[in-house]
Amino acid sequence: MNRSPVPEPDHLVVAITGGTGMEPSPHLLGEVVRGGGLGVVDLAAGDAWMSRALRQCGRRARGNLGVRIGGDCAFSPAEVERALGQRPAVVLLTADSAWPIAELVADHQVVVEVTDLAEAHAAVCAGAAGLVARGMESGGRVSELSAFVLMQQLLSDEAVTVPVWVAGGIGQRTAAAAIVGGAAGVVLDSQLLMQPEAVLPDELRALVGRMDGSEVVREDDLRRLRYGDHLLPIGQDGWLAAAFARRWSGTAAVVRGVRQAVYDAVSSQTAADVFTENSPLARTLGTALPVAQGPMTRVSDDARFAVSPSCLAAFIIRTCPTCSGLKYPLTMATVFVMREIIRHSPMGTTLASQ
């Protein structure tokens, strides 16, 4: 599907700092911009303390800087622009944001976080320039679906005519898979919590460093991490923070690394036939395509599910090089990506690969 407007190249990786009960890091935002990404500060409740933090962010990260506005934010658009010292490059709204989309679109590039198709349709109709598919792996208000399943629902819906970013479980390889699958970009938040620029108490840093995802508390559509008497918007993908810290030292390096993984995946031709019909793996499996589905948990195994957007295996089938609508050639990186997605997915789908 042709989606417009086309996202800016430096919006490929969007990184968010701050949030309810968490301190934003102006230094981290500056490093995101230096690494070639879009830095976004979550304004949380929009109190006087956050106003001072926003002024610091504006001084540290000039240019490619956005703000995230949730349902509790007391700031007005004029107050944000005055504190920031510039007009935000992007205004990222949660679906329950206090700022009406229709009143912003004339002066701002508005991107809306959504957790289902109904929210996506409402945002597009109101004039949103883009959407963020916030999957169940992430923190705060999230979808009942995993990030990749939600992404596929949005991208396959004719009413969704704007670019889609993906949030939830994003790592180096899953970022590449998201772009190959048609996304405009990816969102990092909890993944950056153990980078040196993050502002985090030692106790919380240690807690995040020990995470495996099982610590997250689920209440209705909220996924949060308990820290003392507080529930912080850190989801199951918080465990990636330690993995990122082991791989990269510095937020700019993270952004560059994720961007490079995407570029490598979409430019390499060496393994573009991995998912083609009658590939070596397909012949080994005795199937037309190199896809195998194992026993399912928490989902249906009937024929209707097999053809629904909720089936994770459909991601592979619908983005194979022989299918229409593929934006980029698939590469060997995609095989590793799908193994990573499925291994950590609660859906229970399995991919047979060597």
pLDDT in tens, 108-134: 999 999 999 999 999 999 999 999 999
Contact assessment for residue 138 and residue 147, using Cβ atoms and an 8 Å cutoff:
yes
If one compares 286 and 88, the residue with the highest pLDDT of the two is 88
If one compares 305 and 348, the residue with the highest pLDDT of the two is 305
Average pLDDT over residues 291-305: 54
Write out the DSSP string of 294-321: ---SSS--SHHHHTSTT-THHHHHHTST
The interaxial angle of helices 332-344 and 172-180, nearest 10 deg, is 110
- Give the other-Cβ count within 10 Å of 336's Cβ: 17
pLDDT at 95: 87
Name every residue whose Cβ is closer than 8 Å to that of residue 237 and which is 6 or more positions away in sequence.
137, 138, 139, 168, 169, 170, 190, 191, 213
Integer angstrom CA distances of residue 102 from 82, 91, 231, 292, 328: 21, 12, 32, 45, 33
pLDDT at 179: 92
pLDDT at 274: 66
pLDDT bucket at 284, cuts 50 / 70 / 90: confident
Looking at the predicted structure, is the pLDDT value of residue 14 above 90? Answer: yes
pLDDT at 321: 39
Looking at the predicted structure, is the pLDDT value of residue 340 above 70? Answer: no
Site of tokens 């679109």 = 105
pLDDT at 151: 96
Vertex 330: Cα angle to 328 and 332 (nearest 5): 145
Identify the three-state secondary structure at position 165.
strand
Choose among 92, 124, 72: nearest CA to 15.
92
pLDDT bucket at 286, cuts 50 / 70 / 90: confident
Looking at the predicted structure, is the pLDDT value of residue 168 above 60? Answer: yes
Site of tokens 């295996």 = 313
126-161 burial code (b ≥16 CB/10 A, e <16): bebbbbbbbbbbbbbbbbebbbbbbbbbbbebeebe
pLDDT at 295: 56
pLDDT bucket at 252, cuts 50 / 70 / 90: very high
If one compares 272 and 52, the residue with the highest pLDDT of the two is 52
| Domains of the chain with CATH codes | 9-263 (3.20.20.70), 270-344 (no CATH)
**Dihedral angle, C-alpha 39, 94, 328, 335, nearest 10 °:** 90
Instruction: For residue 249, count CB atoms less than 10 angstroms from its CB and return exposed for 0-12, middle for 13-18, buried for 19 or more.
Output: exposed
Cα–Cα dist 9/11, whole Å? 5
- pLDDT > 70: percent of the chain: 77
Name every residue whose Cβ is closer than 8 Å to that of residue 331 and which is 6 or more positions away in sequence.
180, 264, 265, 266, 268, 269, 270, 271, 272, 274
Integer angstrom CA distances of residue 310 from 100, 131, 149, 299: 30, 19, 6, 9
**Dihedral angle, C-alpha 125, 166, 236, 225, nearest 10 °:** -50
pLDDT bucket at 285, cuts 50 / 70 / 90: confident
Contact assessment for residue 131 and residue 111, using Cβ atoms and an 8 Å cutoff:
yes
Cα–Cα dist 249/31, whole Å? 12
Q: Distance of alpha carbon 324 from its chain centroid, rounded?
A: 25
pLDDT at 203: 95
pLDDT at 224: 95
Cα–Cα dist 190/138, whole Å? 8
Site of tokens 């102006």 = 26
Looking at the predicted structure, is the pLDDT value of residue 211 above 80? Answer: yes
Average pLDDT over residues 36-44: 93
